[in-house]
Amino acid sequence: MPYLQEIINHKDNPQQLEALFQTARLRHETGQFMSDLDACFSGEPDNLLLQAWHYRFQSTLAEPRRQEGIGGNWKLAIPLAMLNGLLLWLFSG
């Protein structure tokens, strides 16, 4: 549990927990951060900061995940639009 000790050390410091979370995001380890935070929350359910993080993750898990960047429809729509423009130009001549 690479984040558990850091979470315990900074369980009352929102700025440090946010920095730790951003580090986990950059490393693509948000799942590990979430499970370590949940373990810490289980040990201290009265800690308001840990409660806030716990319920933050609960609400994001309930939402459907959105793809970042260009979605699949645009990857298909742009080449089809270009082909359509080319065909219209050929047929109009």
Tens-place pLDDT, residues 44-75:
999 999 999 999 888 776 655 555 555 668 78
Per-residue pLDDT, 85: 93
For residue 88, what are its two tokens? 């219209």
Q: What is the mean pLDDT of residues 69-85?
A: 82
pTM over 0.75: no
Alpha helices in 29-92 (DSSP H): 30-43, 48-62, 72-92
Identify residue 58 by its one-letter amino acid code: Q
Q: Average pLDDT over the chain, rounded to whole?
A: 86
Per-residue pLDDT, 89: 92
Per-residue pLDDT, 64: 58
